[in-house]
Amino acid sequence: MKRVVFNQKGGVGKSTITCNLAALAASRGKRTLIVDLDAQANSTRYVLGDGADTLRTTAADFFDQTLNFRLNPRSTRDFITETPFANLSILPSDPALEDLQSKLEARYKIYKLKEALDELDEFDEIWIDTPPAMHYYTRSALIAADSCLIPFDCDDFSRRALYTLLDNVAEIRADHNAALEIEGIVVNQFQPRASLPQQVVKELREEGLPVLDTHLSSSVKIKESHAAARPMIHLDASHKLTGEFTTLYEELVTKRSGKKPRTTKRK
């Protein structure tokens, strides 16, 4: 199962959601891989901490290899790094991804990521973090993925950007990946006592958009999680936000299996 977490708007929690759901999958015994395609490398830093400073190979090395034909290219597995957490590995990012982008676009290497990830049959789940833009790396991720998860903040700017995003995903589906589906919209930093977020979510559902039942709250604990380089399940398993990530992961699993998602009451 390959999921891409994508929104063209920055600051909506792509890396946080990617890493926490991947860490949850790994904690349940799923062999899990994070693919970090954002040159800012937030996911890489989140799960590797200071280890992100001493990497020998990164996603930039993988993509650079695709630009030149070699009789014996390195395996995709050679670019993957184990994290400190059991069952969780990462194809780490690097700022050099930004410099490679124009070359990759010019050579139309848009299917190379899909080909590489399709080889990795040892992983049960692959989670792809993307840049906040619709360019080569994002298109590569959408072509490689089975489904797309969309983080969403409840404000007017995010809502306007959402419609453009949905059109872009539909275009990728029509031109490159007919099997790609939008698995759901994840409402992030939700404030249940504020009227605007509730109204926005209500209207999106009325439009027939796939807003997931589980919402993620705002919490300073997530910043502590980033600083400690420990996803919430490893930092504080009993925290409310950890419970929300757990419920969100379970909702995705039940949705994928075709079962009716379990509803949870909010206090």
Residues 20-79: tens digit of each pLDDT: 999 999 999 999 999 999 999 999 999 999 999 999 999 999 999 999 877 788 999 999
The answer to whether residue 212 is domain-embedded is: yes
Q: Which of the four pLDDT bands, split at 50, 70 and 90, describes residue 266?
A: very low
Tokens of 260: 């009716």
CB-based contact 119:76 (threshold 8 Å) = yes
Proportion of the chain above pLDDT 70, given as a percent: 97
Check which CATH number belongs to the domain holding 70 and give it.
3.40.50.300
> How many independent structural domains does the chain possess?
1
DSSP 172-207: HHHHT-TT-EEEEEEE-SB-TT-HHHHHHHHHHHHT
253-258: long-range pairs with CB below 8 Å, 24+: 255/183, 255/184, 256/1, 256/183
Give residue 264's pLDDT: 37
The whole-model pTM stands at 0.93
Q: Each residue of 108-126: pLDDT tens digit? A: 999 999 999 999 999 999 9
The answer to whether residue 263 is domain-embedded is: no
Give residue 3's pLDDT: 97
The answer to whether residue 265 is domain-embedded is: no
Task: Flag the least confident range among 15-24, 192-201, 252-261.
Answer: 252-261
Q: Which domain holds residue 146?
A: 2-257
Task: Flag the least confident range among 12-16, 73-77, 172-176, 256-260.
Answer: 256-260
Q: What is the DSSP letter of 52?
A: G
